[in-house]
Structure 1
Amino acid sequence: MSAHRTTGAPAPRAGIALPDTTVLRTGTLSWLFPRRGALAATLLVPLLAALIALSVTASSTGMSPSQTLGGLLGTGDAGTVMVVRDFRLPRVLVGLMVGAALGISGCLTQTLAGNRLATPDLIGVNEGATAAVVAAAAGSTTGMVGDWWLGPVGAVAAAAVVVLCAGGAGSAGYRVLVVGIGVSTTLGAVSDLLMSRENDNTAGGVFLWAVGSLSGRDWSAGTPLLIALLVLVPLALAAGHRLQLLRFDDDMAAALGVDLRRVRGVALALAVALAGVAVGVGGPLAFVGLAAPVLAQRMAGPTRVPVVCSALTGAALVVAADALGRVIAPVELPVGVVTSVLGGPFLLWVLFRADRPARKD
């Protein structure tokens, strides 16, 4: 099987491979190995490891790195071991998985719609998950939010409404974006109305989750999220490979043997499921699904759908934002507040770059 090009970038001349690709052959089979994307992922892994170490250490309680290491290894006193192993480490790992899920979800939705603004938090998916969890907490006297699986249920319902109103998950990404903004606004208003009718205890607990918070997340929250990622991420990698062909027009992709309806439907379902489980566990973290794929695309290059780099970038953003929220102020800031503050300028940067005229070679 000869190597062929599967991206929307300008076609290389005959006999010349893509500059960031190595052709690996085994017998009659060949595989295009993305050198630039692999290098970017390789560099992101140690960066993510360093951020995890810093996040486990970061605290407003004044615990030193040596005490943190002792608690992690179990050589410290009982209190330190409990704080590090039962509170900090699970929280950091849950944040890592939430960020990875949001990063992949944003990558798939941006590629599907052909628009960098078409992310889970702008097309109604996050708000659908939020509305489901908030509605389940209505009437509670404990201030606790509902089960994590309510997030995927609400996300699926919101995505179904958006797709139906937009006339399908076709190539007209602007319609999905516009309809999604309308659905997101409506569901956000419903969530606010539900919280306004609750007592202070319930509304306060739900509001903390609704802005995006990893506080109190432990292994019981991380285990179902890990299982979901083990199932969804390999499927997302396969879908990302097929989505590369959608960068051609529909006729060309169909001529190459792509079932457009199936590929778009599967990719959208995976994006919704990933965003739903992430929001169900960590709340609707703003701008992660927007920023992670954009940064990943710049690192991996324009010729690929950067699923792996988006996951690593999203994980790094959430872990870093959570650590920053614990040390930047006397009172801990929810991670969603930090991502919102940082995401606003990033959104402006994306818009300004979109308006900049393309450079002619």
Structure 2
Amino acid sequence: MSAYEPAPPERDTPGTSPLAPGSSLPPSVTPPDSTVVRTGALSWLLPRRSVLLALCLAPVLLGVVCLAVLASSTGMSAGESLRGLFGTGDAAGVMVVREFRLPRIVVGLLVGAALGVAGCLTQTLAGNRLATPDLVGVNEGATAAVVASVAGSTTGMLGAWWLGPLGAAATAVLVVLCAGGAGAAGYRLLVTGIGVSTFVGAVSDLVMSRQNQATAGGVFLWTVGSLNGRDWAVGGPLLVILAVLLPLALAAGHRLQLLRFDDDTATALGADPRRVRAAALGVAVGLAGVAVGIGGPIGFVALAAPVLAARLAGPTRVPVTGAALTGAFLVAAADALGRVVAPVEIPAGVVTSVLGGPFLLWVLLRQDRGRPSGKA
């Protein structure tokens, strides 16, 4: 989210031109929403609005985590949940909070962050808010790979989570080849992705239809985006992967800002459009594949998180950090709501899908209102 800017000579003060001491620099040198932060010979443009967004979302996210820890579908009171969290309660309460509830919350936060960042990158890459991993076939590819792992199984247990990234990568390659490249028009990438998603989804349904009732029931619960049973065994690898991919996503988001111009302008500014697109797509596919492989295909988070973050951070930035925080908030809130809103647990993916339908209509209506009308 930060942009590199060469530091001026020490004799010049901020806001003055080195060629004409005392004169003001053109206002385009430093964006009006940024602050120059200097460290030695380097300096960065710090986006004030994006930083303010992160500072505001952090306590909101912490509040959701606290509510998720206290919320219980087993009849535990808030006091019992707190004692279980700190290890001062009875053995059953400690086990429920520390071994079941807390890992599930952490996995939900990480999955939401991964989906939010993946959606932010693909939307910016295609120039279309609807071009998200769950609408262009990436999530379906990850789902199909995991579902195929249960073919012939009698236990109903899903395969390894790493099958998700492999399926997502294979589907992404197919979509890009059919669309004529990642730099194709956003509508072409979107339409191609929808077609591939429909085909791959049909393959998944075919595999599930050939399984026995016990296996199909267990797989179906995962395919609607349930975080039930997620523990530290999958939370640890997910945290490591995000620690590697999120910095790459920040760098890709910074470079994607240059691709908002034409390719010639981006090249003149020092960016290689092909490499930037390939890197951004690779990071997005990796994040989406890992998130789906572990948390299941939780819908509409990759669509909503970047849109909400962009509304709050402003249109001049690629809100990677804001999308990560917003996605984490959406999944954690949906999972907590699904655990307590009904006598029977509702998967987080069902909650986000119910709320995502009206949100999708809102996005489409805003796009139509913002589009200039033509003359007959």
Identify whether the pair has TM-score above 0.5, normalized to the shorter chain. Answer: yes
Q: Distance in 2 between matches of 1:210 and 1:25?
A: 48
Query: Which residue number corresponds to residue 40 of structure 1?
Result: 53
Query: Which residue number corresponds to residue 12 of structure 2?
Result: none
Q: Distance in 2 between matches of 1:28 and 1:133?
A: 49
Structure 2, gaps ≥5 residues long = 1-5, 9-24
Q: Distance in 2 between matches of 1:314 and 1:25?
A: 31
Q: Distance in 2 between matches of 1:14 and 1:183?
A: 49
- Say which of 325, 328, 342 aligns to 1:312: 325
Q: Distance in 2 between matches of 1:150 and 1:348?
A: 33
Paired amino acid for 2:95: M
Query: Which residue number corresponds to residue 64 of structure 2?
Result: 51
Query: Which residue number corresponds to residue 142 of structure 2?
Result: 129
Paired amino acid for 2:304: A
- Say which of 247, 259, 278 aligns to 2:291: 278
Query: Which residue number corresponds to residue 349 of structure 1?
Result: 362
Deviation at 1:2, TM superposition (A): 6.2
Query: Which residue number corresponds to residue 14 of structure 1?
Result: 26
Q: Deviations over 1:172-231 (max 9, x none)?
A: 111111100000011111111111111000000000001111000001111111111011
1:203 and 2:226 matched: no
Q: Secondary structure at the match of 2:149?
A: helix
- Say which of 252, 267, 273 aligns to 2:265: 252
- Say which of 311, 323, 346 aligns to 1:298: 311
- Indicate how the Cα distance of structure 1 residues 343 and 303 shifts in structure 2: closer, same or farther if over 3 A, else same: same
1:230 and 2:243 matched: yes
Q: Deviations over 1:248-267 (max 9, x none)?
A: 11111111111111010000
Paired amino acid for 1:355: D
- Indicate how the Cα distance of structure 1 residues 63 and 30 shifts in structure 2: closer, same or farther if over 3 A, else same: same
TM-score (norm 1): 0.95
Query: Which residue number corresponds to residue 113 of structure 2?
Result: 100
Deviation at 1:90, TM superposition (A): 0.2
Q: Secondary structure at the match of 2:44?
A: strand
Q: Secondary structure at the match of 2:370?
A: coil
Q: Distance in 1 between matches of 2:39 and 2:342?
A: 56
Q: Distance in 2 between matches of 1:357 and 1:188?
A: 33
Q: Distance in 1 between matches of 2:111 and 2:248?
A: 17
1:80 and 2:93 matched: yes
Runs of 4+ in 1 over 4 A off after TM superposition: none
Query: Which residue number corresponds to residue 200 of structure 2?
Result: 187
Q: Deviations over 1:27-51 (max 9, x none)?
A: 5533111000000001100110110
Deviation at 1:171, TM superposition (A): 4.4
CA RMSD after TM alignment = 1.4
Q: Distance in 2 between matches of 1:56 and 1:214?
A: 14
1:154 and 2:164 matched: no
Paired amino acid for 1:356: R
1:216 and 2:240 matched: no
Paired amino acid for 2:246: V
Does the aligned pair in 2 maintain the 1:285–1:339 contact within 8 Å?
A: yes
Q: Distance in 1 between matches of 2:261 and 2:165?
A: 31
Deviation at 1:140, TM superposition (A): 1.1
- Indicate how the Cα distance of structure 1 residues 358 and 124 shifts in structure 2: closer, same or farther if over 3 A, else same: closer
1:336 and 2:344 matched: no
Does the aligned pair in 2 maintain the 1:112–1:171 contact within 8 Å?
A: no
Does the aligned pair in 2 maintain the 1:137–1:144 contact within 8 Å?
A: yes
Does the aligned pair in 2 maintain the 1:135–1:194 contact within 8 Å?
A: yes
Q: Deviations over 1:294-346 (max 9, x none)?
A: 00001111111100010000000000000110111110001110010000000
Paired amino acid for 1:345: P
Q: Distance in 2 between matches of 1:316 and 1:284?
A: 17
Query: Which residue number corresponds to residue 323 of structure 1?
Result: 336
Q: Distance in 1 between matches of 2:364 and 2:371?
A: 14
Deviation at 1:91, TM superposition (A): 0.2
Q: Distance in 2 between matches of 1:188 and 1:337?
A: 17
Q: Distance in 1 between matches of 2:204 and 2:213?
A: 15
Work out which of the two has the higher radius of gyration on C-alpha atoms and give 1 or 2.
2
Q: Deviations over 1:76-97 (max 9, x none)?
A: 0000000000000000000000
Q: How many residues align?
A: 350
Deviation at 1:108, TM superposition (A): 0.3
